[in-house]
């Protein structure tokens, strides 16, 4: 049995489906059981658990042999750094006594020791705390999610404008969630000696201008990139309903990516999903 924390999200559900397709038993942990309906129909067990409930989380982990750990994103209207670190603490506590033989954790390019810089610092803390406990741990650091552009799809469709937090010609190591799910499943199935860092990105790197051009081809309309200036990052996040600390944290993460501080430290594993394939599916839904 494989247990997946964050198993109903895009990456986790892709990992779950990859495991189910190979005939393995899977339990997905979710805060809301209805989010797992599709996976339940596909053969997965769904466990509705608040991951802050350490005893309940440990009890589900004890039913499995290996686990996938994805720290669920906090509501950006709150202090995301504080809340996501609390999630990390609960997950680490639940591993104690779980009896698992291996865990695979989802992290990010450029994770570093520090505070209040979004996933870069929260997930570094998760990496460090996982490495300090006795269960063998494999860590997949991922590039920039292609799915981050999904929130812009309606704006692009209706206005022909692609808002971008990044310079139009900045190359980014983008990756589709399904490729990250496949990579997670592969490491869940590999030996307990397959541990440590692995970097995962898509078949090639893309710029925001490439994203705009790909939307343009899929929608059959002209699409232009509208860059959000760096001094306006925090105000822009605040306009989306982010709390002041969350806006500062996300702005920090964005600036580090722009400044080239989120590079892979090892040669990356390449996924198969191209930006064009991802966006064609996105606009078709």
In a domain, 169, yes or no: no
Residues above pLDDT 70, as percent of the chain: 100
In a domain, 197, yes or no: yes
Q: Which residue has the tokens 């059981």?
A: 33
Residues 1-54 have pLDDT tens digits of 999 999 999 999 999 999 999 999 999 999 999 999 999 999 999 999 999 999
What pLDDT sits at residue 48? Answer: 96
What pLDDT sits at residue 95? Answer: 98
Which CATH number characterizes residue 47's domain? 3.40.50.720
In a domain, 151, yes or no: no
Q: Among positive and negative, which fits the CA dihedral 278, 23, 5, 70?
A: negative
Q: What is the mean pLDDT of the chain?
A: 97
Residue environment code for 76-103, b if the CB has 16+ CB neighbours within 10 A, otherwise e = beebbbebbbebbebbbbbbeebebebb
DSSP letters spanning 73-119: PPPTTS-HHHHHHHHHHHHHHHHTT---SEEEEEEETT--S-SSSTH
Q: What residues does 46 pair with on adjacent strands?
A: 28
- Residue 237's pLDDT band, with cuts at 50, 70 and 90, is very high
What pLDDT sits at residue 165? Answer: 97
In a domain, 285, yes or no: no
Cβ-proximal residues to 55 (8 Å cutoff; 6+ apart), any chain:
none
What pLDDT sits at residue 150? Answer: 95
Q: What angle do CA 269, 199, 40 make, to 5 degrees?
A: 85
Q: Cα separations (Å) of 174 from 60, 154, 177, 210, 284?
A: 33, 20, 10, 11, 20
Residues 83-108 have pLDDT tens digits of 999 999 999 999 999 999 999 999 99
What pLDDT sits at residue 28? Answer: 97
Longest dimension (CA), the chain: 56
Query: What torsion, rounded to 10 degrees, do the Cα atoms 182, 204, 277, 254 define?
Result: 80
Tokens of 262: 């989120």
Residue 258 predicted with pLDDT over 90:
yes
Q: Which of 142, 129, 45, 47 is nearest to 86 (CA)?
A: 129
Residue 204 predicted with pLDDT over 90:
yes
What pLDDT sits at residue 265? Answer: 86
Tokens of 281: 């599916």
Residue 156 predicted with pLDDT over 90:
yes
The stretch 233-237 carries a mean pLDDT of 97
User: How far apart (Å, rounded) are the C-alpha atoms in residues 88 and 72?
Assistant: 9
Q: How many domains does the chain have?
A: 1
Residues 123-152 have pLDDT tens digits of 999 999 999 999 999 999 999 999 999 999
Are 45 and 85 contacting, i.e. CB atoms less than 8 angstroms apart?
no
The stretch 170-195 carries a mean pLDDT of 98
What pLDDT sits at residue 186? Answer: 98
Write out the residue range of the structural domain in which residue 52 sits: 2-145+175-202+260-272
In a domain, 138, yes or no: yes
Alpha carbon 53 to its chain centroid, in Å, reads 22
- Residue 285's pLDDT band, with cuts at 50, 70 and 90, is confident
Check: pTM over 0.75? Answer yes or no.
Answer: yes
In a domain, 58, yes or no: yes
Cβ-proximal residues to 190 (8 Å cutoff; 6+ apart), any chain:
138
In a domain, 213, yes or no: no
User: How far apart (Å, rounded) are the C-alpha atoms in residues 6 and 196?
Assistant: 21
In a domain, 284, yes or no: no
């Amino acid at each position: 049995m494989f247990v997946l924390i964050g198993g109903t999200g895009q990456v986790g559900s892709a990992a779950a489906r990859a495991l189910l397709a190979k005939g393995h038993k899977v339990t997905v942990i979710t805060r809301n059981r209805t989010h797992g309906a599709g996976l339940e129909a596909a053969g997965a067990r769904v466990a509705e658990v608040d991951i802050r409930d350490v005893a309940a989380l440990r009890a589900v982990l004890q039913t499995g042999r290996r686990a996938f750990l994805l720290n669920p994103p906090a509501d950006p209207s709150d202090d995301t750094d504080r809340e996501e670190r609390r999630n990390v603490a609960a997950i680490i506590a639940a591993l104690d006594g779980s009896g698992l033989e291996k865990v695979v954790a989802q992290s990010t390019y450029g994770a570093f020791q520090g505070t209040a810089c979004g996933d870069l610092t929260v997930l570094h803390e998760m990496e460090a705390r996982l490495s300090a406990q006795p269960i063998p741990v494999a860590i997949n650091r991922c590039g920039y999610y292609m799915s981050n552009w999904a929130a812009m799809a309606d704006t692009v469709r209706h206005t022909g404008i692609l808002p971008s937090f990044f310079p139009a010609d900045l190359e980014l190591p983008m990756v589709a969630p399904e490729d990250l799910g496949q990579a997670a499943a592969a490491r869940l199935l590999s030996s307990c000696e397959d541990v440590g860092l692995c970097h995962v990105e898509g078949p090639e790197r893309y710029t925001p201008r490439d994203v705009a051009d790909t939307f343009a081809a899929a929608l059959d309309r002209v699409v232009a990139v509208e860059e959000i200036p760096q001094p306006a990052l925090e105000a822009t996040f605040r306009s989306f309903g982010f709390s002041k600390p969350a806006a500062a944290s996300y702005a920090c993460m964005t600036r580090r990516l722009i400044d080239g501080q989120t590079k892979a430290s090892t040669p990356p594993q390449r996924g198969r999903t191209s930006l064009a394939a991802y966006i064609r599916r996105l606009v078709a839904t």
